[in-house]
Structure formats: C-alpha cells, structure tokens
C-alpha cells in the first residue's frame, strides 16, 4: 500500500458525498469547463497570449486571479489546520495585504514601463543576463519544492478526508484516496492550464473566488451556529488562541531581548528559545515575515504575472489594490473555521469531529460534518477548484519562466508555436519532479510550517536584489549576482541539513548529534536563519557593488527611483485618482483594526 501522510487522521466516518453533492460538483465544474472552452476558442498561438493573456486582463480579473492563486492548498488546508492548532497566530502572514499595496504603488509603475514577461527579465534589464539566469533557475526550484509539491499534497489531504473509502488495487499495490486525489488534481489542472494558458487560469480564478468566499463564509456561519455563537468560540478557545500578539514575544519574556532558557532536572541547558524556539518568535515575525511577504507579493512571478497581463499601469494598480482587499478575508474564512473546529471538538458538540479530528484536516472535516447535502457539494467543488487554481497559476508561471527566460535564450529563432509547445512540455516535467518531492512534505511538522520554511530559506536574496535594486541606483550587476548566489547557497545548505531530519531517514530519526555544528544549524529557528540570509545577501550586494564600477545610469533609465524621468513621473501620476487612494486607506484601516481586535 502506498504511504499515507502522518498529518492525516485515520479514515473518517460519517456523512459522505450524496447524489445531490455530486450533482452540485458536476454542475460547478461544467461551468469551469465552459469558461475554459470559451477561452481556448479565443486563444491565439502566440507567447504573449499564452503567457500573459495578450496583456488584456481587466482589473477585477487581475485582482481575483492574484487572490485565487494565493488561496490554494497552503491556505485552505494549512491555515485552518494552523487555526485549530495555534489559534490566530498565522494571521500575521494573512494581514500582509499591505504588501499588495506596495506592489500597486511602488513596483507596478516599473513593471508597466518595462513591458517585461517575467521577473527575471526585469532583473536582466536592471542588472545583467547572468542575474536573469540565476533567478529563473532558483524560482523554478522554489516553485517545485514548495508551491507545486504542497498543492499536490493538499489535494491528497482533501480527497483522503472527504472520500476515504476510494481506493484502487493495481497489481497487488493498493493506492489510497490520498494518492488518487493528488494525481486527479494534477491531471485536471494540467489539462486546462496547458490548453488555455494564462487566460484560462485567470478567468477560472475569477469564477472560483466567488464560490470559495461564499462557501467558506457559509461554513463559518454554520460552525458558529452549531457552537452557539462568537462568544462561545472565544470562551472555549481562550484568550491565548485569540492573541495575535502572543507569537511576537517568546514564552516567559515580556517584550525584552533576553533569551528564554530551559534546563533539565540536572540543571543542564536543554533549550534556549532565543535561538531554538520552534514556534513563531517576535523578532522573526517582525523582520522575517515582512521580507517573505514583500518578496511573494511584489517580486514573485507566480503573483506578479497577473499584473503583467494588464493593458496599462492604471489597470494593473487597480487589480493589485482589489487583490489586497480580497486578501483581508482569509483570516475569517480559513483561520476562524479552524478555531471553530477546535472548539467543537473540545466541547464535543459534534462527536464525529472529535472522533476523527486532526488539526491538519480541520477544514475538510467541517465541510463533511457540518454542511447539508448540496451546499456541501458546492463548497467541496470550490475547495478542489481552489487547489487546482493555485496549481494552475504556478504551472503557468513555471512554463513562462522556463520558456521565456531559458528556452528562448537558448533558441532565439524559435517560433511562437514552438515557445507555446515548450511551455506545455515544461509544465509536465515539473509536475513529475514535484510528485517525487511529496514524501518530504509528508514528513514536515505541518503543511503551513513547511511552506514558510522553504520560502524563508529561498526568498531573502530575491527580496534584497529587487528592493535594493529599485531604491538604490548605485548597486550594480556584480553585486546583484554575488548576492543572489551567496544567499541561495546559504538557503540551500539549510534545506539540505533539514531534509534528512524532516524525512526521518535512517540514522537521522533523532536528528544530529546534540551540540554539533549541523545540530546547531538544524535547530536555529527558520525565521532567525532567514534573517541571517537577508542580512548576509544585503551585505554582499552592497560591498561588491561599491568594490566594482558603478552601473551606466543611462542603461537603467526608468528602472530605479534615481533614474526615473519627469515623463515617467507624469505618466504614473495621471494613472491614479482619489478612488485608488481611498481604497488603499480603507485596506490599511482594516489591517490595523484586526491587530487591535485580536489582542487576546
């Protein structure tokens, strides 16, 4: 029998999908199929149309697609699981909607003026071709080991929770619902992504967002009704689970810089929380989380590709602001249902939940046991569609990176048809590699923890070269290249150290020898290590840049704040009005309100 994830609870009992549920699922996916078919029928066999939807996306489609691409496996499954286990702690990451405002107001003007296809292409214009190659390769690695692998895994989690009875026997090998679900998600997603490209991804995202928000909101309402209301939820969960500020202070420390030390019965130091705290420490949340957020929302091809599909700067900015507004919802749509699931289990008001509870599958368990037939089918369809939408976005981003940044460089005379065909082939290859990486994801402490760790190790160098590159015109190509290579090597080193322990390979079941160098590296909190990578990358970039000649400023005109022309400034100012300012201010007020409310 193929291995089952240790994150999952035992096969659950209780309500399964009824005929009405299946009818709702078929109806929903029929709509998505019609949308995909309509898109394919209008598609042109060109790179611009396949990878960027012909640069003709509306602002509401851009915003919905950015949100839908982000709200995939790691959010639906991972955030609800985190809510059931740790309370609202992960809301710090979800309240990074302000990062999308940085994209809208700071980076969109540069991206729109440069008319690039990819983020590595922008880096090439700002620095050098070598920088473009490095970022392309590292981005592909990041997509495979994080977004694609996690998406496939989460699809298996959903299937094994909702349909545990499904299994296939092939030649004496029993394939359970986890692997059936993983493969099904890949095949269905890959099909419409490969056929329709960016346009199919974006328009299907727009449909799915409506269903996902409405369905998740109904699940929250049903859960609160079953529990007895919001007051009951706060009373059962306690102030700790509603304390957004708690992770910012290590246990036992009141807003000081002092480390927390734990000793055994003999008085020997066994844990020092300043370095080895396994939760989310205050310094890490204050520095590392914004670094990852700004990298993800402002410089990651997976997200920014939607903004690149806008016809002009104004539409790209409005789409980004709309995405920031939608980004306010996950705290209440996914984290709060996780808390509700925990409260229902603790109060035993839904015995079926208590019998099969595992924090990692809190969301699909609630869908299964709380919603009535028909509505359950719609939410399941939206859930699977969200998983597929997230994967579709990364498939398209991967094919764009490989085809535009690598293949087209190797074969500059390739036709538009050849570029589209190569993008489809690249998608298939990366999916296969990602499936081989699933066992590493299975061994992780939790789905969301795994994702944050991988991003924490690989994102800092990208953050540094983009932000420093745009704000500091003196930094040059040599500084960018050395910074990325040095930072990525340090991040990959940490991943290589962690992987044998995470997978519990033979000889590593209990980690490294205590006190050894590798034990220290493995036990440093991932957020602290991410801060180290960020500072190291920044130092290398500045030192190398000032040790080598300054860039030719004429060649980087309009690509940094120091080289923007008066014409550029006038064009940007004409692209926004009071509506964009008002919407941005409202989003910031909502974020501040959430921080004030969730104080325990």
Q: What is the DSSP string of 341-389?
A: HHHHHHHTSSHHHHHH--GGGHHHHHHHHHSPTTHHHHHHHHHHHHHHH
- Residue 558 is given by DSSP the state T
Which pLDDT score, from 0 to 100, does residue 470 have?
Answer: 94
- Average confidence (pLDDT) over 465-488: 95
pTM (2 d.p.): 0.81
The Cα 438–Cα 423 span in angstroms is: 23
Which pLDDT score, from 0 to 100, does residue 55 have?
Answer: 66
**Does the pLDDT of residue 536 top 90, yes or no?**
yes
N- to C-terminal Cα distance for the chain? 45
Q: Average pLDDT of the chain?
A: 79
**Does the pLDDT of residue 503 top 60, yes or no?**
yes
**Does the pLDDT of residue 389 top 90, yes or no?**
no
- Average confidence (pLDDT) over 389-397: 75
For residues 590 and 500, the answer to whether their CB atoms sit within 8 Å is: no
278-287 per-position pLDDT tens digit: 456 777 778 8
Q: Residue 78's pLDDT band (boundaries 50, 70, 90)?
A: confident
Q: Residue 46's pLDDT band (boundaries 50, 70, 90)?
A: low
Highest mean pLDDT pick, 11-25, 461-475, 515-529: 461-475
Which residues have a Cβ under 8 Å from the Cβ of 403 and sit 6 or more positions away?
Answer: 47, 51, 419, 420, 422, 423, 426
Q: Domains for the chain: give ranges and CATH numbers.
A: 19-597 (1.20.1730.10)
**Does the pLDDT of residue 565 top 80, yes or no?**
yes
CA angle, residues 132, 136, 138, in degrees to nearest 5: 120
**Does the pLDDT of residue 568 top 60, yes or no?**
yes
């Amino acid at each position: 029998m193929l291995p089952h994830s240790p994150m999952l609870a035992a096969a659950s009992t209780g309500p399964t999908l009824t005929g009405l549920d299946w009818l709702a699922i078929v109806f929903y996916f029929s709509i998505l199929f019609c949308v995909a078919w309509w898109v394919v029928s209008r598609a042109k066999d060109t790179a611009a149309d396949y990878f960027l939807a012909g640069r003709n996306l509306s602002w509401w489609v851009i915003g919905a697609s950015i949100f839908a691409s982000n709200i995939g496996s790691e959010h639906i499954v991972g955030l609800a699981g985190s809510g059931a286990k740790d309370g609202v702690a992960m809301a710090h990451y979800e309240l990074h909607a302000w990062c999308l405002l940085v994209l809208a107001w700071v980076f969109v003007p540069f991206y729109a003026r440069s008319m690039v296809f990819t983020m590595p292409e922008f880096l090439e214009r700002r620095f050098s071709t070598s920088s473009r190659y490095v970022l392309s390769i590292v981005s592909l690695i990041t997509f495979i080991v994080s977004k694609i692998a996690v998406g496939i895994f989460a699809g298996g989690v959903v299937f094994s929770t909702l349909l545990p009875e499904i299994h296939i026997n092939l030649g004496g090998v029993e394939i359970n619902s986890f692997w059936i679900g993983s493969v099904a998600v890949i095949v269905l997603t890959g099909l419409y992504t490969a056929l329709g490209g960016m346009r199919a991804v974006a328009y299907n995202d727009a449909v799915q967002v409506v269903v996902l928000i409405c369905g998740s909101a109904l699940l929250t309402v049903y859960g609160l009704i079953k529990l007895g209301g919001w007051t009951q939820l706060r009373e059962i969960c306690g102030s700790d689970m509603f304390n957004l500020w708690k992770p910012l202070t290590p246990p036992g420390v009141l807003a000081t810089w002092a480390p927390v030390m734990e000793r055994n019965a003999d008085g020997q130091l066994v844990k020092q929380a300043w370095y080895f705290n396994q939760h989310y420490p205050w310094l890490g949340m204050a520095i590392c989380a914004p670094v990852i957020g700004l990298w993800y929302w402002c410089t990651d091809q997976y997200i920014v590709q939607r903004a690149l599909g806008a016809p002009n700067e104004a539409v790209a900015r409005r789409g980004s602001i709309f995405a920031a507004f939608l980004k306010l919802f996950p705290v209440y749509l996914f984290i709060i249902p996780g808390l509700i699931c925990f409260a229902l289990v603790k109060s035993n008001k839904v015995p079926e939940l208590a019998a099969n509870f595992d924090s990692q599958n809190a969301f699909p368990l609630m869908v299964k046991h709380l919603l009535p037939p028909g509505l359950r089918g719609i939410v399941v369809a939206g859930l699977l569609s969200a998983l597929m939408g997230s994967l579709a976005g990364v498939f398209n981003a991967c094919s764009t990176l490989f085809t535009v940044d690598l293949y087209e460089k190797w074969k500059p005379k390739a036709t538009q048809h050849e570029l589209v065909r190569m993008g489809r082939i690249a998608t298939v290859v990366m999916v296969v590699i990602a499936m081989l990486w699933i066992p590493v994801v299975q061994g992780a402490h939790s789905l969301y923890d795994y994702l944050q760790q991988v991003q924490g190790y690989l994102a800092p160098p990208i953050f540094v070269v983009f932000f420093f590159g745009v704000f500091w015109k003196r930094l040059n190509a040599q500084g960018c290249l050395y910074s990325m290579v040095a930072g990525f090597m340090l991040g990959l080193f940490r991943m290589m150290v962690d992987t044998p322990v995470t997978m519990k390979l033979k000889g590593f079941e209990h980690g490294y020898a205590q006190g050894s160098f590798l034990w220290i590296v493995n036990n440093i909190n991932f957020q602290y290590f991410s801060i180290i990578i960020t500072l190291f990358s920044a130092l290398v970039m500045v030192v190398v840049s000032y040790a080598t000649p300054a860039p030719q400023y004429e060649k980087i005109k309009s690509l940094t704040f120091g080289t923007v022309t008066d014409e550029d400034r006038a064009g940007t100012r004409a692209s926004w009005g009071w509506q964009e300012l008002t919407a941005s201010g409202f989003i910031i007020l909502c974020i501040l309100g959430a921080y004030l409310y969730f104080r325990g």
